[in-house]
Structure 1
C-alpha cells in the first residue's frame, strides 16, 4: 500500500502554508519529514489524516490507489492510516487499558498479526505496569508510548507520527527509537514528522525537507543529508 501526495497545496483561512508538495511513502517504507518549526510539517500531517483545519485547496492524496483527499478522518482511519498526534492527546480521564480499547478497530490483513492489548503491553512493558492508571497520571514518555499503542490498536498499514520525540528524556527517546525501528523492520509503513534530526535519520530510509517557502527543498537518503553540513545548516539550522 502506497501513499502518494501530488502537487498538494494546503492552508488556513487567512494564509497558505504548503505549495506543490509531492512525495511518496512506499509499502513498508519509512519516510522522515524534516523542517524547522513552523515550516508546515504538522499542517501536512493533518491534511493527510483529514483533520481540520487546515484545508486542501488543490492537489491530491492517494492511498492504496484510492483518492482520500478531503475525506473525513474516520474514513481515512478505516483505510488503514493511523496518526500519533503532536502532544500525544491521550484520554486523561481513562485508564491505560481503556485508552487502548476505546478506539475503533479495523481488521488486520490475513498475513499480519493483529494488534491486541496484550501485544501492545508486550511491545511497551511499562504500559502493562500502568494498565489501571489514569492516563493523566502518566509521565510524558509513558503517554507517548500509550499514544503509539493506541494508534497500533487500529491495525494500521501506515503509521504517521507528528513530533514523537517532543519533550522526552533521552532514556525514553531510546526506547521509542528502538520500537520504531522494530515497527519498520516488521514491514509497517511509517511517516514521521520530526525536528529531532538524529532520530529521524536513524529510523528513516528516505528523508524530505520542507523549507520556509512551504515547498520541498530536498529529498534523498539519510546518509546524504547527514554528510552535508551546509544543507543541514541552511534548512535545519544544525
Structure 2
C-alpha cells in the first residue's frame, strides 16, 4: 500500500491553503502531520478523503496506483482509506453497536483478521459496557473510541485521524495512545494529524510539518524532530 500526494494545491473558494504539498505513506508506515492551528492539516486530510470543500486546484493524490482526485468519498473509503474525523462525529441517535454496524465493510482475503463488533469491543472494553447506550450520551473519550472503532470496522489499509486527542482527559488520552501504538504494531498504515506534538511523535515513526505558507517546512523521523529544539520552536512554537 502506498499513498502519494504530489505537488498538491488546495483552495477554499478564493483562499489558497496548500501550496505544492508532497507526502508519501508506505505500507505499514505511521506518519505524523504537524503544524500550528490553521496551517492546513485538516485541509490536507479532507483532500485525501475526497471531502468537499476544499477544492484541489492542482497536483495528484494516488493510492496504490489509483488517482483519487476523481473519486467520491465513498469510493475512496471502499478503496481502503478510513477517516476518524475531528470532533468524532458519531451518530448520536444510534447506539454504540449501531454506530459500528451501520458502516459498509470492506473485505479482502489479503487483509488478515477482519474487524468485527466483537473485536472492537475487545479493543475498547469500555464500548462493550456502553453497547446499548445512545452515542450522544457517551463521554468525549468514549465517543473518540467509538469513532476509531467505526473507522476500523471498514477494515482499512490506511487509517487517517484528524486531531484524535482533542478535548480528551489525560487518563483517556493514555488509553487512546496505547491502542494507537497497538494498531501501528499490527502493520496498519496510519496518518495522524495532530496539534499534540508528544502524541504524534509517540505514534508516528516519521513526521511532516506544515507551516503558514501551506507547504511542508520540515520532514524527517520522529526522533530527529524530538531532538531538534530549533525546528520545534520555529515551526510549532514549542
Q: Same fold (TM over 0.5)?
A: yes
Q: Residue in 2 aligned with 1:203?
A: 203
Distance 2:227 2:70 in 1: 38
For the aligned residues, what is the CA RMSD?
A: 0.7
Output one character per residue of 1:165-190: Cα deviation in whole Å (capped at 9) or x when no partner. 00000011011110001000101000
| Uncovered stretches (5+) of structure 2, i.e. residues with no partner | none
Tell me the equivalent position of 1:27.
Answer: 27
Moved over 4 A (4+): none
Structure 1 residue runs of 5 or longer lacking an equivalent are: none
Give me the whole-angstrom Cα distance separating, in 2, the residues matched to 1:147 and 1:44: 20
Tell me the TM-score normalised to structure 1 length.
0.99
Distance 1:108 1:86 in 2: 28
CA contact (8 A) 1:56 1:70 kept: no
Q: Deviations over 1:17-45 (max 9, x none)?
A: 00100010000000000000000000000
TM-score by length of 2: 0.99
Partner residue in 2 for 1:90: 90
Aligned residue pairs total 238
Within-5 A mapping of 1:1-238: 1-238=1-238
Shifted more, 70-79 versus 141-150: the winner is 70-79
Q: Secondary structure at the match of 1:90?
A: coil
Deviations 1:101-152, CA, capped at 9 Å, x for gaps:
0001111333410000000000000000000000000000000000000000
Cα deviation 1:153-175 (Å, max 9, x = unaligned): 00000000000000000011011
Alpha-carbon distance, 1:4 to partner: 0.4
1:13 and 1:208 map into 2 onto residues whose CA distance is 26
Q: For 2:229 and 2:193, how far apart are their aligned partners in 1?
A: 21
The Cα of 1:70 is off from its aligned counterpart by: 3.7
